[in-house]
Homo-oligomer: A and B are copies of this chain.
Amino acid sequence: MTASREEFEARLRQIGAERYHDKHPFHHLLHSGGCTPDQVRAWVINRYYYQSRIPMKDAAFMSRVEDPALRRAWRSRIEDHDGRDGNEGGIRRWLRLAEAVGLNADYVASAQGVLPATRFAVDAYVRFVRDKTLLEAVAASLTELFAPKIHAARIEGLLANYAFADDSSLSYFRNRLTEAPKDVAFGLEWVLDHADTAEKQDAAANALIFKTDVLWSQLDALHSAYVDPARIPPGAWQPGTGLMAQAAE
Protein backbone atom coordinates (compact mmCIF):
# COMPACT_ATOMS: atom_id res chain seq x y z
CA MET A 1 0.00 0.00 0.00
CA THR A 2 1.28 3.44 -0.86
CA ALA A 3 2.20 5.37 2.27
CA SER A 4 1.14 8.98 2.72
CA ARG A 5 3.71 11.68 2.08
CA GLU A 6 4.22 12.16 5.82
CA GLU A 7 4.48 8.43 6.53
CA PHE A 8 6.96 7.96 3.72
CA GLU A 9 9.12 10.88 4.89
CA ALA A 10 9.10 9.37 8.38
CA ARG A 11 10.22 6.04 6.89
CA LEU A 12 13.16 7.73 5.17
CA ARG A 13 14.15 9.58 8.33
CA GLN A 14 13.99 6.35 10.31
CA ILE A 15 16.59 4.83 7.98
CA GLY A 16 18.95 7.62 8.99
CA ALA A 17 18.14 7.17 12.66
CA GLU A 18 19.09 3.49 12.41
CA ARG A 19 21.89 3.38 9.86
CA TYR A 20 23.59 6.76 9.32
CA HIS A 21 27.33 6.66 9.99
CA ASP A 22 27.14 9.15 12.88
CA LYS A 23 26.56 5.96 14.91
CA HIS A 24 29.85 4.39 13.82
CA PRO A 25 32.50 4.09 16.57
CA PHE A 26 35.10 5.77 14.36
CA HIS A 27 33.14 9.02 14.46
CA HIS A 28 32.89 8.88 18.24
CA LEU A 29 36.64 8.40 18.37
CA LEU A 30 37.26 11.26 15.94
CA HIS A 31 34.92 13.79 17.49
CA SER A 32 35.92 13.07 21.06
CA GLY A 33 39.62 13.68 20.41
CA GLY A 34 40.49 9.99 20.66
CA CYS A 35 42.14 9.76 17.24
CA THR A 36 45.91 9.86 16.87
CA PRO A 37 47.27 12.31 14.26
CA ASP A 38 47.78 9.35 11.93
CA GLN A 39 44.20 8.17 12.36
CA VAL A 40 42.97 11.67 11.49
CA ARG A 41 45.24 11.60 8.43
CA ALA A 42 43.91 8.22 7.33
CA TRP A 43 40.38 9.60 7.59
CA VAL A 44 41.31 12.71 5.57
CA ILE A 45 43.00 10.63 2.84
CA ASN A 46 40.13 8.20 2.46
CA ARG A 47 37.32 10.69 2.79
CA TYR A 48 39.02 12.75 0.07
CA TYR A 49 38.32 9.94 -2.36
CA TYR A 50 34.63 10.14 -1.53
CA GLN A 51 34.60 13.96 -1.92
CA SER A 52 36.44 13.75 -5.22
CA ARG A 53 33.83 11.40 -6.71
CA ILE A 54 30.74 13.38 -5.68
CA PRO A 55 30.85 15.83 -8.63
CA MET A 56 31.40 12.87 -10.98
CA LYS A 57 28.34 11.25 -9.43
CA ASP A 58 26.34 14.44 -9.93
CA ALA A 59 27.50 14.74 -13.53
CA ALA A 60 26.45 11.12 -14.13
CA PHE A 61 23.04 12.02 -12.76
CA MET A 62 22.69 15.14 -14.90
CA SER A 63 23.80 13.22 -17.97
CA ARG A 64 20.56 11.22 -17.67
CA VAL A 65 18.15 14.06 -16.86
CA GLU A 66 16.10 15.33 -19.80
CA ASP A 67 14.40 18.16 -17.90
CA PRO A 68 16.46 21.41 -18.01
CA ALA A 69 14.82 22.64 -14.80
CA LEU A 70 15.96 19.58 -12.88
CA ARG A 71 19.47 19.84 -14.31
CA ARG A 72 19.56 23.54 -13.37
CA ALA A 73 18.48 22.76 -9.81
CA TRP A 74 21.14 20.05 -9.55
CA ARG A 75 24.04 21.99 -11.06
CA SER A 76 24.98 23.91 -7.92
CA ARG A 77 26.06 20.63 -6.30
CA ILE A 78 28.92 20.36 -8.78
CA GLU A 79 29.83 24.01 -8.29
CA ASP A 80 29.80 23.60 -4.51
CA HIS A 81 32.47 20.93 -4.81
CA ASP A 82 34.49 22.07 -7.82
CA GLY A 83 34.30 25.82 -7.15
CA ARG A 84 33.32 28.92 -9.08
CA ASP A 85 34.36 32.60 -9.06
CA GLY A 86 34.53 33.66 -5.44
CA ASN A 87 34.14 30.10 -4.09
CA GLU A 88 37.14 27.80 -4.03
CA GLY A 89 34.83 24.77 -3.68
CA GLY A 90 34.67 21.83 -1.30
CA ILE A 91 37.49 19.80 -2.83
CA ARG A 92 40.02 22.62 -2.34
CA ARG A 93 38.69 23.16 1.16
CA TRP A 94 39.25 19.49 1.88
CA LEU A 95 42.85 19.75 0.68
CA ARG A 96 43.37 22.66 3.11
CA LEU A 97 42.22 20.34 5.87
CA ALA A 98 44.71 17.77 4.54
CA GLU A 99 47.55 20.29 4.84
CA ALA A 100 46.39 21.35 8.28
CA VAL A 101 46.86 17.76 9.48
CA GLY A 102 50.34 17.63 7.94
CA LEU A 103 49.61 15.80 4.71
CA ASN A 104 50.99 16.71 1.31
CA ALA A 105 48.00 17.95 -0.71
CA ASP A 106 49.32 16.46 -3.96
CA TYR A 107 49.66 13.08 -2.28
CA VAL A 108 46.09 13.24 -1.04
CA ALA A 109 44.78 14.40 -4.41
CA SER A 110 46.59 11.53 -6.14
CA ALA A 111 44.33 9.10 -4.26
CA GLN A 112 47.27 6.73 -3.88
CA GLY A 113 47.05 4.90 -0.62
CA VAL A 114 43.25 5.06 -0.47
CA LEU A 115 41.93 1.82 1.03
CA PRO A 116 40.61 -0.57 -1.63
CA ALA A 117 37.40 -0.93 0.37
CA THR A 118 36.90 2.86 0.23
CA ARG A 119 37.37 2.76 -3.53
CA PHE A 120 34.95 -0.14 -4.01
CA ALA A 121 32.24 1.54 -1.90
CA VAL A 122 32.57 4.98 -3.48
CA ASP A 123 32.76 3.60 -7.00
CA ALA A 124 29.63 1.57 -6.25
CA TYR A 125 27.83 4.81 -5.44
CA VAL A 126 28.87 6.50 -8.70
CA ARG A 127 27.75 3.41 -10.63
CA PHE A 128 24.48 3.25 -8.74
CA VAL A 129 23.64 6.80 -9.80
CA ARG A 130 24.69 6.03 -13.36
CA ASP A 131 22.65 2.81 -13.64
CA LYS A 132 19.53 3.08 -11.48
CA THR A 133 16.35 5.12 -11.92
CA LEU A 134 16.46 8.87 -11.34
CA LEU A 135 14.23 8.37 -8.32
CA GLU A 136 16.73 5.94 -6.76
CA ALA A 137 19.60 8.29 -7.59
CA VAL A 138 17.95 11.25 -5.88
CA ALA A 139 16.85 9.11 -2.93
CA ALA A 140 20.44 7.94 -2.42
CA SER A 141 21.49 11.59 -2.00
CA LEU A 142 19.14 12.01 0.95
CA THR A 143 21.77 10.99 3.49
CA GLU A 144 22.34 14.78 3.39
CA LEU A 145 19.20 14.93 5.55
CA PHE A 146 21.32 13.62 8.39
CA ALA A 147 24.55 15.47 7.58
CA PRO A 148 24.15 18.91 9.22
CA LYS A 149 23.97 17.32 12.67
CA ILE A 150 27.19 15.39 12.10
CA HIS A 151 28.97 18.42 10.59
CA ALA A 152 28.01 20.58 13.56
CA ALA A 153 29.16 17.89 16.02
CA ARG A 154 32.36 17.47 14.04
CA ILE A 155 33.24 21.18 14.02
CA GLU A 156 32.66 21.37 17.75
CA GLY A 157 34.53 18.15 18.51
CA LEU A 158 37.51 18.90 16.28
CA LEU A 159 37.85 22.50 17.55
CA ALA A 160 37.78 21.32 21.16
CA ASN A 161 40.21 18.45 20.73
CA TYR A 162 42.80 19.01 17.98
CA ALA A 163 45.45 21.69 17.50
CA PHE A 164 45.05 21.64 13.70
CA ALA A 165 41.39 22.66 13.87
CA ASP A 166 40.60 26.29 13.06
CA ASP A 167 38.32 28.32 10.79
CA SER A 168 40.49 27.71 7.75
CA SER A 169 41.02 23.95 8.13
CA LEU A 170 37.37 23.31 9.00
CA SER A 171 35.86 25.57 6.33
CA TYR A 172 34.69 22.53 4.38
CA PHE A 173 32.27 21.59 7.15
CA ARG A 174 31.08 25.16 7.77
CA ASN A 175 30.16 25.49 4.12
CA ARG A 176 28.34 22.18 4.13
CA LEU A 177 26.17 23.45 6.99
CA THR A 178 24.44 25.78 4.51
CA GLU A 179 24.92 23.84 1.24
CA ALA A 180 23.57 20.47 2.38
CA PRO A 181 20.18 21.68 3.71
CA LYS A 182 19.53 23.60 0.47
CA ASP A 183 20.30 20.52 -1.66
CA VAL A 184 18.42 18.09 0.49
CA ALA A 185 15.28 20.23 0.77
CA PHE A 186 15.06 20.06 -3.02
CA GLY A 187 15.90 16.33 -3.14
CA LEU A 188 13.43 15.39 -0.45
CA GLU A 189 10.57 17.24 -2.14
CA TRP A 190 11.48 15.62 -5.44
CA VAL A 191 11.48 12.13 -3.93
CA LEU A 192 8.22 12.68 -2.06
CA ASP A 193 6.63 13.95 -5.29
CA HIS A 194 7.87 11.11 -7.48
CA ALA A 195 7.62 8.07 -5.17
CA ASP A 196 3.88 7.82 -5.80
CA THR A 197 3.45 4.04 -5.60
CA ALA A 198 4.37 1.51 -2.92
CA GLU A 199 6.88 -0.04 -5.31
CA LYS A 200 8.61 3.29 -5.92
CA GLN A 201 8.62 4.07 -2.22
CA ASP A 202 10.34 0.73 -1.56
CA ALA A 203 12.89 1.43 -4.30
CA ALA A 204 13.62 4.89 -2.87
CA ALA A 205 13.95 3.55 0.68
CA ASN A 206 16.29 0.79 -0.51
CA ALA A 207 18.39 3.36 -2.37
CA LEU A 208 18.79 5.34 0.83
CA ILE A 209 19.74 2.14 2.69
CA PHE A 210 22.30 1.40 -0.03
CA LYS A 211 23.82 4.86 0.48
CA THR A 212 24.04 4.42 4.27
CA ASP A 213 25.94 1.18 3.52
CA VAL A 214 28.34 3.12 1.28
CA LEU A 215 29.12 5.56 4.10
CA TRP A 216 29.23 2.99 6.91
CA SER A 217 31.54 0.62 5.09
CA GLN A 218 34.06 3.42 4.55
CA LEU A 219 34.33 3.92 8.32
CA ASP A 220 34.49 0.16 8.89
CA ALA A 221 37.43 -0.02 6.51
CA LEU A 222 39.17 2.90 8.25
CA HIS A 223 38.61 1.42 11.69
CA SER A 224 39.81 -2.00 10.61
CA ALA A 225 42.94 -0.62 8.92
CA TYR A 226 44.08 2.08 11.35
CA VAL A 227 42.52 1.60 14.80
CA ASP A 228 44.16 -0.82 17.20
CA PRO A 229 44.58 -3.67 16.34
CA ALA A 230 45.40 -2.03 13.00
CA ARG A 231 45.51 -4.26 9.92
CA ILE A 232 46.60 -2.03 7.04
CA PRO A 233 45.88 -3.82 3.74
CA PRO A 234 48.70 -4.23 1.19
CA GLY A 235 49.29 -1.02 -0.76
CA ALA A 236 47.27 1.29 1.50
CA TRP A 237 48.66 4.44 3.13
CA GLN A 238 51.36 3.82 5.71
CA PRO A 239 51.74 6.33 8.58
CA GLY A 240 54.85 8.43 8.09
CA THR A 241 54.39 8.73 4.32
CA GLY A 242 52.61 11.35 2.20
CA LEU A 243 53.51 14.15 4.63
CA MET A 244 54.30 17.81 3.97
CA ALA A 245 57.97 18.80 4.08
CA GLN A 246 57.50 20.00 7.67
CA ALA A 247 54.72 17.85 9.09
CA ALA A 248 52.91 19.34 12.06
CA GLU A 249 52.06 16.80 14.70
Contacts and interface: CB of A to CB of B under 8 A. Distances in A.
A29 interface: no
A235 B217 contact: no
Contacts of A221: 117, 217, 220-221, 224
Interface in A8-64: 18-19, 25
A127 B209 CA distance: 22
Contacts of A231: 25, 220, 223
A214 B116 contact: yes
Interface stretch (A71-79, A118-126, A197-205): A118-126
Number of copies of this chain in the oligomer?
A: 2
Interface of A: prevailing SS: helix
Contacts of A124: 119-120, 123-124
Interface in A106-123: 115-117, 119-121, 123
A212 interface: yes
A153 interface: no
Given A121-B120, A235-B19, A220 B216 contact: no
